[in-house]
């Protein structure tokens, strides 16, 4: 249940000119072309620092737990780092949760960007450090993987502070949205990968859905398993306090096939449900500010910020 108070903390600053990004790997390993990574950032006027764990592999993990944890703490602690981008997902973020120094992170707030397994960090940092984090492009699959716009644009636009209160988070018109349940609601945008939301129930990263717009997405999950995961959230009391639902991409499951299940699970809540949002394991991958207050209008098929994301 929603029994832990969410911590509030001052907003970080938006990316400055010549911002420096930290590249960390809290989860799984991947081959990283360091020259290509540095060239990507430098060609856009930025710098990057690649932390040791991003270049290591320990079976299905990118480096040891100690190394991955140290990289995260060092990236938050370093005043020269302006934002933190995860290299990939996979698995491993949950192994760090009970050793995260939330006081350290709260003292040095800065944007963390990633999705998939990084959902565990998004939820934990929201609850225990009060951070707004970003469900958006990771280094290997997205930024270096050539995903189509608005993947890069939404990533840099939001971290650069170019969207303010009342501004729309633009969704590509070529990918139609579906107003499963019409209506309008305001709340904190929470959620991420549905499998991780289920896996972290009962842990310190359990998603706080009070007064929320719940965002869900997943990959390689058949419809019956999506049903099981949503039913798990319902039985755990995690649909209480949900003001609206934003449904992302579920690779291999069309919105048409998903809609009856969405109506069955969320219909009794009487809240707006907008489906088909391209964020997560899809191309393009639209950035979303988790922990920020947003206005969801499923009738108009729009999502707008209801707060500023950064200090200016």
Quick check: helix, strand or coil at residue 63?
coil
Residue with tokens 């001052």: 10
Q: Give the pLDDT score at 252.
A: 87
**Looking at 116, 126, 195, 279, which residue is catalytic?**
116
Q: Copy the structure tokens of residue 135.
A: 């469900």
Backbone angles phi and psi of 24, in degrees to 5: -125, 160
Best CA proximity match to 141, nearest among 88, 218, 196, 91: 88
* Distance, CA of 145 to CA of 178 (rounded, Å): 28
* Distance, CA of 151 to CA of 158 (rounded, Å): 11
Cβ-based neighbours of 168, under 8 Å, separated by 6 or more = 302, 303, 304
Q: Copy the structure tokens of residue 62.
A: 């990118």
Residue with tokens 């994301």: 309
**Does residue 116 have an active-site annotation?**
yes
Q: Give the pLDDT score at 11.
A: 86
Backbone angles phi and psi of 116, in degrees to 5: 65, -120
Q: Give the pLDDT score at 51.
A: 98
Q: Give the pLDDT score at 258.
A: 98
**Does residue 217 have an active-site annotation?**
yes
**Does residue 312 have an active-site annotation?**
no
Contact at 8 Å (CB) between 237 and 206?
Answer: no
Taken in order 158, 159, 162, 163, is the CA torsion positive or negative? positive
Q: H-helix or E-strand containing 133?
A: strand 133-135
Best CA proximity match to 78, nearest among 54, 55, 49, 42: 49
**Looking at 154, 206, 281, 298, which residue is catalytic?**
281
**Looking at 128, 171, 195, 217, which residue is catalytic?**
217
Quick check: helix, strand or coil at residue 156?
helix
Contact at 8 Å (CB) between 278 and 286?
Answer: yes
Q: Copy the structure tokens of residue 294.
A: 């947003």
Run means of pLDDT, 10 residues per run, the chain, 312 residues: 57 94 98 96 98 97 98 98 98 98 96 98 96 97 96 97 97 97 98 98 97 97 98 98 97 96 98 98 98 98 97 74
Best CA proximity match to 272, nearest among 203, 199, 182, 188: 182
């Amino acid at each position: 249940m929603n029994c832990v108070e969410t911590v509030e903390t001052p907003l970080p600053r938006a990316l400055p000119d010549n911002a420096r990004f930290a590249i960390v790997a809290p989860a799984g390993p991947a081959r990283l072309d360091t020259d290509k990574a540095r060239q990507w950032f430098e060609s856009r006027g930025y710098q990057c620092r690649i932390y040791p764990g991003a270049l290591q592999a320990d079976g299905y993990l990118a480096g040891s737990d100690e190394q991955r944890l140290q990289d995260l703490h060092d990236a938050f602690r370093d005043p020269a780092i302006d934002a933190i981008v995860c290299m990939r997902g996979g698995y491993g973020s949950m192994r760090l949760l009970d050793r995260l120094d939330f006081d350290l992170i709260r003292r040095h707030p800065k944007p963390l960007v990633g999705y998939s397994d990084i959902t565990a960090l998004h939820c934990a940092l929201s609850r225990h450090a009060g951070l707004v984090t970003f469900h958006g492009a990771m280094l290997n699959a997205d930024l270096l993987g050539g995903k189509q716009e608005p993947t890069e644009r939404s990533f840099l636009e939001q971290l650069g502070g170019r969207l303010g209160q009342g501004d729309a988070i633009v969704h590509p018109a070529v990918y139609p949205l579906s107003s499963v349940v019409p209506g309008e609601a305001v709340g904190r945008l929470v959620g991420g990968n549905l499998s991780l939301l289920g896996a972290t129930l009962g842990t310190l990263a359990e998603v706080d859905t009070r007064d929320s717009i719940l965002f869900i997405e997943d990959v390689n999950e058949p419809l019956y398993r999506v049903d099981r995961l949503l039913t798990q959230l319902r039985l755990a009391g995690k649909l209480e306090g949900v003001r609206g639902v934003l449904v992302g991409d579920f690779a291999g499951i069309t919105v048409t096939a998903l809609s009856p299940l969405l109506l069955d699970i969320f219909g009794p809540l009487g809240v707006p449900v907008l489906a088909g949002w391209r964020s997560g394991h899809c191309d393009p991958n639209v950035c979303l500010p988790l922990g920020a207050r947003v206005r969801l209008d499923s009738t108009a098929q729009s999502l707008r910020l209801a707060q500023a994301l950064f200090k200016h």
